């Protein structure tokens, strides 16, 4: 970026990745600016920014849970689980985009929430503008932002089309069903083109899809972990099985290759995150007062939609060696966990 003097047109035209350089230009810009101001100490600037971004993400998570559950302890539980999660925190110490990407994701979601749940029209307008700007930044940060931006923009567009309906639990249930059916269709279509990649009708993304199809032909589930590979696919359903296996492995937090300390760290945080998140949905399904609480229900539905979208998107392509691409959903999993803690404690206070 410095070589091109922040000329983005020249940068995108001349820097070639498998995916267009625009989708990485956001973080590259931050690194370039840091180098301009801090010179040889630029690495410390990025690491400091990572730490600030991580702490800010935890703060935003706590604020969202407090708004949705109206309970400070639940908010602290959710925020604390995020802060203590080793697989989220470990990337703070590297010059990578993960920590700043997470805070941008949660900030984008916060603006969408403020737009949907706000009452003052002028403020709602600016919240929508801010959400769209943040979505554009996300798309310039990492290609993995695609499913997140898709869900957030869809929420905004549907709120414009159905201004009152977005606060309706019935409409939100319909939205969730549509999302699940749409992703199911995406799995079926993607499996077909992975088996017959030569039939892909568009020039767009052909080269990348050809690369992804080689992963399928090897039965690869997790990148660079051959011990987890499936048999090479021979029929259409084998490709679907590979995708479904990846979806399951996306949530796995313990494997033989992890060190004992890594396994202990993950057990301590992932177990309550998953269990409490499950508590939320059990309560949402079985207890009518939860689904009638518009804020709690809307946050639960949208967080779940974001989790499902990210999981399926990455499972269609390939799960990263160290599960880095699970990081964008960690804030949403911990939000669900915080609200699940509220559901759990309510069982003893009724």
What would the pLDDT profile of 111-162 be if each residue is shown by its tens digit? 999 998 877 777 888 998 999 999 999 999 988 899 999 999 988 888 887 7
Average pLDDT over residues 50-55: 96
What token pair was written down for 54?
A: 């991580």
Residue 222 phi, psi dihedral angles, 5° rounding: -115, 135
Could you tell me the pLDDT band of residue 6, with boundaries at 50, 70 and 90? low
3 state SS of 53: helix
When the pLDDT of each residue in the chain is averaged and rounded to a whole number, the result is: 88
pLDDT for the residue numbered 280:
92
Beta-carbon contacts of residue 15 (< 8 Å; ≥ 6 apart): 21
CA dihedral 296, 165, 177, 155 (to 10 degrees): -80
Rounded Cα–Cα distance for residues 154 and 179 (Å): 10
What token pair was written down for 185?
A: 């269709």
The domain ranges of the chain are: 8-346
Q: What percent of the chain has pLDDT over 70?
A: 92
Could you tell me the pLDDT band of residue 1, with boundaries at 50, 70 and 90? low
pLDDT for the residue numbered 337:
96
Which residue pairs, CB below 8 angstroms and at least 24 apart, start in 13-20?
A: 18/207, 18/208, 18/211, 19/143, 19/208
Rounded Cα–Cα distance for residues 28 and 6 (Å): 10
Lowest-pLDDT range, 43-52, 113-122, 241-250, 252-261?
113-122
150 within 8 A of 140, measured Cβ to Cβ? no
Q: Read off the pLDDT of residues 268-317 as tens digits, 9 standing for 90 and up.
A: 999 999 999 999 988 888 876 666 677 888 899 899 989 999 999 999 99
Distance between alpha carbon 160 and the CA centroid of its chain, in Å? 24
pLDDT for the residue numbered 320:
87
pTM for the model stands at 0.91
């Amino acid at each position: 970026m410095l070589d091109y003097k922040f000329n983005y047109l020249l940068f995108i035209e001349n820097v070639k990745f498998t995916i267009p350089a625009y989708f990485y230009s956001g973080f590259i810009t931050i690194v370039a600016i840091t180098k301009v101001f801090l010179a040889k100490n630029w690495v410390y600037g990025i690491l400091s920014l990572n730490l600030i971004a991580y702490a800010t993400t935890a703060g935003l998570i706590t604020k969202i849970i407090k708004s949705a559950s109206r309970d400070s302890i639940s908010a602290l539980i959710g925020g604390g689980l995020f802060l203590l999660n080793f697989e989220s925190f470990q990337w703070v110490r590297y010059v990578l985009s993960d920590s700043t990407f997470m805070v941008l994701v949660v900030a984008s979601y916060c603006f969408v929430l403020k737009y949907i749940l706000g009452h003052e029209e002028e403020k709602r307008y600016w919240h929508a503008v801010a959400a769209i700007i943040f979505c554009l930044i996300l798309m310039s940060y990492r290609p993995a932002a695609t499913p997140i931006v898709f869900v957030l923009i869809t929420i905004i567009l549907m709120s414009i089309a159905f201004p009152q309906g977005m606060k309706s639990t019935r409409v939100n249930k319909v939205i969730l069903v549509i999302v699940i059916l749409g992703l199911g269709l995406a799995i079926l279509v993607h499996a077909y083109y992975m088996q017959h990649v030569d039939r892909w009708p568009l020039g767009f993304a052909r080269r990348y899809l050809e690369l992804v199809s080689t992963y399928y032909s090897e039965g690869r589930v997790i990148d660079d972990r051959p011990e987890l590979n499936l048999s090479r696919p021979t029929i259409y359903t084998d490709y679907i099985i590979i995708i479904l296996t990846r979806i399951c492995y996306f949530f796995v937090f313990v494997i033989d290759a992890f060190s004992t300390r890594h396994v202990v760290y993950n057990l301590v945080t992932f177990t309550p995150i998953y269990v409490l998140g499950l508590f939320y949905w059990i309560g949402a399904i079985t207890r009518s007062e939860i689904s009638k609480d518009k804020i709690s229900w809307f946050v639960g539905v949208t967080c779940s939609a974001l989790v499902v979208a990210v999981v399926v998107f990455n499972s269609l392509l390939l799960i990263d060696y160290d599960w880095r691409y699970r990081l964008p959903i960690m804030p949403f999993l911990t939000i669900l966990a915080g609200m699940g803690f509220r559901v759990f404690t309510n069982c003893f206070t009724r």
